[in-house]
Amino acid sequence: MLNPIPISIPEGPKSDCITNEVQDLLKDNAIEQVLPNRHSQLVFYSNVFTVPKAGTNLHRPVLDLKRLNLFIKNQSFKMEGLKNLSSMVKQGYYMVKLDIKKAYLHVLVDESYRDLFRFVWKGTHYRWRTMPFGLSSAPRIFTMLMRPVLRMLRDINISVIAYLDDLLIVGSTKEECLNNLNKTMNLLVKLGFKLNLEKSVLEPTQSITFLGLQIDSISMKLLVPKEKKKSIIKDIRNFLKLETCTLRKLAGLKGKLIALKDAVIPFRLYTRQTNKFHCQSLKLANGNWDQSFPISQDVKKEISNWLTLLNQWNGKEISLFPSNDYVLTTDASESGAGATLMKNNKVIKTWSFQWSEVQSNMSSNRREMLALLMAFQTLCRKLNNCNLKIQTDNTTTLSYVNRQGGQIQDLSILFEQLWKQCLKKKINLIGEHIPGFFNVKADHLSRLSEMNHKSSKPIKSYNWQLKKEVFNRIQLQFGQIQMDLFASHFNHQTINYSTMKMNALQLDWSQWNQCLAFPPPILLPSVMEKMNLLSSKMVSIILIFPIWRSATWYPMIQAQVPRHHRHLFPQVLGTFQEVLTKESIESIPIQIQQRWKLGIIRLSNLM
């Protein structure tokens, strides 16, 4: 038994705030009064404190479960969020938002564990009957609780994203969005959830704020809302006036900036110094968040850049396939470097360069990065205000492009030169891996005498393989398949196959009469988006997918089935164990092999 920690009771508004909250929790049956001398082996007391309420002068009470959380074993889990937008929101779609009121209070704590959540307020002892805020395992518990609910909604073709107590509901028209909203509300109420209608947005709109960012389906961009931008700019200006700052205050500002990562394109480029300074200072302070440190000039300079970023770079494309106005493909060898610049799949410029003796002795990663910088400076001089896809066979270069830098100082210096030129010209970089044996033109231009790709690491293969008899059965039902997309040299089913390394999503699928698509589940939204992009062409795809009804992409596949046939969806191909070869799924537990099922559907744009 851990006794309550003596605390100084706050006076004035903070004290009233806690008292009022305790009364509200008692009314909601979220907590209950208990005797202080109850004999139990499982008794744990935590403190109560207050934190400011966002956007107000008010405070809200929080149970400090920091000590208890030390004993909680946290398990990894996946949460939905803004990353799922691209698979659901299309141009011109309508959106609404639902807020579940006091979400965690819907989860009852087992009677035998309630004494772990005790606290004392003004001499009275209480314990939680429901799951308290601040418990480290609470987000996972609530997310897992919501999954069957989402499965039911997606089973009836409702597009919804749920991040804890926030639900975004989408429809292609205003009427469809309202219909989806009504069905969702009816189900939630029937299941006993209480909705916070004041925080909800019930009128379908094409611009909505969700998880702190503005989703605009007309421009198809994620943006920092005006009021939020104004507030952060004010915080930055106040911060820049300071000479010293506590680590807690710096962490608060850093957190606000990182929260904008989905809307501000070069956010990583302008948080690296701040993050480094914060981590080093926290180590020196032995974890004391309230210790002050002089603010370095590097940090001030980096933070001040955000005043420009929030205006010039506010808005990131939602689409799974951002418009690639130009494609720059580069390669480097020990003897030289080469590159091509393409537009509309046509080479418009080429470049080659022979290394000096000093350059040829540099590391392969440095040569690749230097080749990219020099190719950009030579071939992209006249480019402005566009997206530029960088294709490279070097995974380090690819990482630096997509993560806007890295840990190796000399590579970071080269890369920052590249990005700063891009920022001036309003060019957004998008990195893509292209294996050496497909990087023919740039490879030739770099004067390689032989295939030499020691710096390139292959993308991990996707190994699930259909049994031969299952593939034959599929061909009997749907007809001959000419192309096996997303395959590899050891699991392809047809003579023609397109590996993930070739990036099957970049190919024109209409050149074959019929293709088989058995992609990794994470690529299913991209496959569906690809079909939309090919809507004007004659395409037939046999798609195999896991029957995971709670997945965000599930309604997208279901929507391809005519309404009068949806009662037949999904067509079950069989369990993993029945459909896939033993060798390809040996890493999957046998119980899951026997339980998980695969579905099959023909996606066709044939007239």
Q: Give the H/E segment covering residue 337.
A: strand 336-343
Place of tokens 């392809």: 492
Inter-residue contact 347 to 340 (CB < 8 Å): yes
What is the number of residues in the chain?
607
Report the range out of 26-30, 493-497, 505-509 with the highest average pLDDT: 26-30
Q: How confident is the model at residue 456 (pLDDT cuts 50, 70, 90)?
A: very low
Rg of the chain, C-alpha, whole Å: 28
Mean pLDDT of 227-243: 95
For residue 65, give every residue at least 6 positions away whose Cβ sits within 8 Å of its Cβ, in sequence order, or none: 46, 117, 132, 134, 135, 136
pLDDT at 572: 95
The type of residue at 17 is: C
Question: Measuring CA to CA, which residue among 588, 584, 354 is closest to residue 466?
Answer: 584
- CA distance linking residue 274 with residue 260, whole number of Å: 15
Instruction: Give the whole-angstrom CA distance, residue 409 versus residue 392.
Output: 21
**Neighbour count for residue 24 (Cβ, 10 Å):** 12
List phi, psi (to 5°) of 127.
-145, 155
SS3 513: coil
Query: Are 531 and 506 in contact, with CB atoms under 8 Å apart?
Result: no
Q: pLDDT at position 530, please?
A: 86
Cβ neighbours around 189 below 10 Å, total: 11
Q: Which of 303-312, 318-327, 345-354, 471-480 has the lowest mean pLDDT?
A: 318-327
Q: Which residues of 284-314 are buried (b: 16+ CB within 10 A; e: fewer)?
A: eeeeeeeebbebeeebbebbeebeebbeebb
Q: How far is CA 291 from CA 244, 251, 281, in A?
A: 10, 12, 9
* SS3 call for 219: coil
Q: Which of 4-13, 201-210, 586-595 has the lowest mean pLDDT?
A: 4-13
More confident: 40 or 381: 381
Mean pLDDT across 241-255:
93
Q: What pLDDT is attached to residue 353?
A: 86
* pLDDT category of residue 39 using cuts at 50, 70 and 90: low
The 3-state secondary structure of 477-508, one letter per residue: HHCCCCEEEEECCCCCCCCEEEEHHHCHHHCC
Give the pTM: 0.76
Taking residues 529-534, report their average pLDDT. 84
Q: What CA–CA distance (Å, rounded) separates 165 from 498?
A: 41
Other beta carbons within 10 angstroms of residue 58's beta carbon come to: 12
Token pair 């004067």 in the structure block, residue: 447
For residues 178 and 205, what is the distance between their CA atoms, to the nearest angstrom? 10
pLDDT, tens digit, for every residue of 563-596? 777 778 889 999 999 999 988 888 778 888 889 9
Q: Which of 95-99, 143-147, 461-465 has the lowest mean pLDDT?
A: 461-465
Q: What is the pLDDT of residue 37?
A: 65
Question: What is the 3-class SS of 132-188, one letter each residue?
Answer: CCCCCCHHHHHHHHHHHHHHHHHHCCCEEEEECCEEEEEECCHHHHHHHHHHHHHHH
Name beta bridge partners: 292. 246
Classify the phi-psi angles of 270: left when phi > 0, otherwise alpha if psi is within -120 to 50, otherwise beta: alpha
β pairing state of 483-487 and 427-433: unpaired
Q: What is the pLDDT of residue 455?
A: 32
- DSSP per-residue string spanning 410-433: HHHHHHHHHHHHHHHHTEEEEEEE
Nearest in space to 408 (alpha carbons), one of 354, 458, 368 = 368
Residue bearing tokens 């270069």: 397
- Beta strand 386-392 with 427-433: parallel, antiparallel or unpaired? parallel
Q: Do 370 and 377 contact (CB within 8 A), yes or no?
A: no
| Cis before 562? omega within 30 | no
Q: Which two tokens stand for residue 587?
A: 């890493």
Burial bucket for residue 262 (CB in 10 Å: 0-12, 13-18, 19+): buried
- The pair of three-digit structure tokens given for residue 606, joined into one six-digit string: 């044939």
Residue with tokens 């390139």: 456
pLDDT tens-digit series, residues 190-204: 999 999 999 999 999
Distance (Å, rounded) from C-alpha 345 to C-alpha 349?
A: 12
**Cβ neighbours, 10 Å, residue 42:** 10
Are 316 and 263 spatial neighbours (Cβ–Cβ below 8 Å)? yes
What is the three-state SS of 566-591? HHHCCEEEEEHHHHECCHHHCCCCHH
Contacts of residue 456, Cβ cutoff 8 Å, sequence gap at least 6: 393, 394, 395, 435, 436
The string of DSSP letters for 368-391 reads HHHHHHHHHHHH-TT--SEEEEEE
Contact 129, 109 (CB under 8 A): yes
- The pLDDT score that the predictor gives to residue 228 is 94
**Which whole-number Å values give the CA distances from 23 to 31, 126, 250, 305, in the listed order?**
9, 11, 35, 47
Q: At residue 293, what is the residue type?
A: F
Helix, strand, coil shares of the chain as percentages rounded to 5? 40, 25, 35
Q: How far apart are CA 481 and CA 258, in angstroms?
A: 46
The pLDDT confidence band at residue 459, using thresholds 50, 70 and 90, is very low
Contacts of residue 204, Cβ cutoff 8 Å, sequence gap at least 6 = 94, 95, 96, 171, 174, 177, 178, 181
* Spatial separation of the C-alpha atoms in residues 405 and 416, rounded to whole Å: 7
Q: What is the mean pLDDT of residues 404-410?
A: 83
Please write the tens of the pLDDT for every residue from 119-139: 999 889 999 999 998 899 999
